[in-house]
């Protein structure tokens, strides 16, 4: 699954099992949990988008991430 890299804004790859996020355009390489925290802490506009997800990660694994582009 392609998502936007929080570092270079190009396409990064989200693992099918949401276990990792990697970007070929820069050296971004984190677990999905770290990625969510990284984005939330560094991008105000993204923290708005992720707010619901970050606040309700307990008991959830994937959520409704299909909406991501």
Q: Residue numbers of the site for Zn ion (CB under 5 A)?
A: 5, 7-8, 23, 25-26, 28
Residue 1 beta carbon to Zn ion: minimum distance, rounded to whole angstroms: 15
Distance of CA 12 to the CA centre of its chain: 9
Residue 38 beta carbon to Zn ion: minimum distance, rounded to whole angstroms: 12
Do 26 and 8 meet the contact criterion of CB atoms below 8 Å apart?
yes
Residue 52 beta carbon to Zn ion: minimum distance, rounded to whole angstroms: 25
- Nearer to Zn ion by Cβ, of 14 and 26: the residue is 26
Do 27 and 45 meet the contact criterion of CB atoms below 8 Å apart?
no
Do 7 and 23 meet the contact criterion of CB atoms below 8 Å apart?
yes
- Nearer to Zn ion by Cβ, of 19 and 25: the residue is 25
């Amino acid at each position: 699954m392609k998502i936007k890299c929080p570092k270079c804004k190009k396409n990064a790859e989200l693992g099918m099992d949401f276990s990792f996020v990697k970007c070929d355009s820069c050296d971004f390489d984190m677990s999905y949990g770290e990625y969510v925290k990284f984005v939330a802490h560094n991008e105000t506009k993204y923290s708005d988008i992720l707010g619901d997800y970050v606040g309700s990660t307990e008991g959830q694994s994937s959520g409704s991430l299909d909406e991501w582009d």
